[in-house]
Structure 1
Amino acid sequence: MSVVVLVEVEEGRASLVSRETLTFARSLGAGDLHAVVVGEAGEAVVADCREMGVVVVHEAVDPALERYAAAAWAAVVEAAGRAARANVVLAPGTGRGMEVLAHVAARRNLRMAANVVAVESLDPLVVQRQVVGGAALERATVDSRVRLMTMAGHAVDPKPADAAGEATVSRLAVAVDPRDLRAQVARVEKREQADTSGLTGARVVVGAGRGAGGPDGFSAVDALATRLGGAVGVSRVVTSLGWRPHHEQVGQTGSRIAPDLYLACGISGSIQHWAGCASSRTIIAVNTDPDAPMVTKADYAVIGDMHEVLPAVLEELG
């Protein structure tokens, strides 16, 4: 029995959520751990995989794969699964991970469990997974001969294996079918502002909503996020009013975050926003309304004006 994990690469390294997924895969006790990388697995990615206990890194190198195409990536994952004789295939619960594994499931007529946070049994497959935008957990039994799962972001902390793996690099022979390239990334345009990777990967997020009062009401929010080494997140109304860019939006139509700490300031806490932040380990709400949904759902709350509370916190931190 073996496990194959799709490893996504960011800035030449295995992404944080990929390392989390490798850690999660080890906890299944399902045998040898394999990784699959679309493109050439560089030395840093191989080193990351070795540290996480991977025995083989399967790479697929083809000019046709240089631009992301979900169906083509699915073919690569299938090839890695065959090479490893995998019983379990995992992917990070990112946009790409979810899309690629959904393609694998459709091509192989298999069932897939999405946003898994825990596995109770592999035979039969019984999982706990996030539903309703992360606002609730569902216990589900999945009948499938190959277990396909995406892991919810930050369900576990990334931890090196007790013993490093060999991480032998194996080149997959994948003939890219032109039909799998019918939908692919045409071009990538970089934002002048930071993209959402800083927000979704942050361990601390300082959020602000209508209570900020306007575009000029974010100075303390920005300062506190910088002081804590975190990122800024905002509610939908803030982006709708044009106060902050959309890539900072947290919620059902924005980014879903799972930091160690989410400090929600002046945010009422609609169900759409809660869907994006419910996976946070600790939520502290700062709000003048003691009955605001964010206050009632938070782990801790400070009843007060964010424009008074945040400067006081910054002064205390020094």
Structure 2
Amino acid sequence: MNEWLFLLSAALLFSLLIVLGWRFLPGDRFQMLATVPVRRRDDTHWHGVNFTWYGLLLATAAVIGIIFVLILTRAAGQALTPMLTLLLLIVGLCVPAAHWVARLVEKKHHTFTIGGAFFCGLAATPPIILLINGGCLLLDVPLLHTQVVMAALGIGYILGEGLGRLACLSFGCCYGKPLHQCGRFATFLFDRVAFVFTGATKKAVYEGGLAGVKLVPIQGLTCLLYTATALVACHLFFQGRYRSAFLLSLLVSQVWRVISEMLRADFRGFTAISAYQKMGLAAIVYGGVLCLLFPQPTLPLPDIASGLVLLLDPFLLLGLKAIWFALFLHFGHSMVTGATLSFEVRQNRI
């Protein structure tokens, strides 16, 4: 019963976020969150740095994913300290990898790729787990069960990326093709829920020249599919079906990555089949090999109450807030937009 209450509460919260995001985030109002003056331009104007809703939403989605990983692994009896170490190492790898892979594939210096970051994280996680388990043996700390941890990480990833697509709605990136290019069936399906971007600083406008055009709502579809899959995978996890939970998260996310890129109009590299699609296919093969290498552990069924107790730890909550703030500064500091500010005194209020 506790499991269903947890999943139902999460489903209601995520549904509310998705509905509100689908409704409001494509609008001009929800791209820039704040602007900070940094350098005087002349006597009356300043150059400003923009902080975006993209950064706020992406940081929030990432922390929600991390929280789910911690709740699930603690519910399954995994030690907290090794898990925190693992998560810090993965975040420390994936955040810069989001830049490195995008720079390598797209030849751009001021962009990110979650797909590339995921591929790097997936490839590196099993060796990192083995390294941490070696330290656990030396310190006489319980070992991490690779299959359990990989399942929780798969769920945290697909949930974080799913909710993170709301950030793409705000910035107008990862945009779909115009409906009129996709045939009558696509128009029939998506005409009423298509996204329309109009602001000059939205990526679909300044990169794609698609101002005022109805686009396939690829960000919203990804958000719905990924969050629903994460909740189903959570149910499998609570049933002790760790391999199934991992494979479901991996297959849905990577198969959809391959398919969804056919419906996207943003720049994805210089080849017909993008590097991200190839990474998605390689990730499926690699994940299947991992399932063969690491056996399904025989453990008691996860206890959701044991996992939720984590949320009462003030030091953990402070750490999560610090991670959120660091991610917000990193991804929220806009590198492709600028601002000019002016200030005045309201004479009628003196």
Q: TM-score, normalised by structure 1?
A: 0.25
Q: Which has the higher strand share?
A: 1
Higher RCO (CA < 8 A, seq sep 6+):
2
Q: Which has the higher helix share?
A: 2
Q: TM-score, normalised by structure 2?
A: 0.23
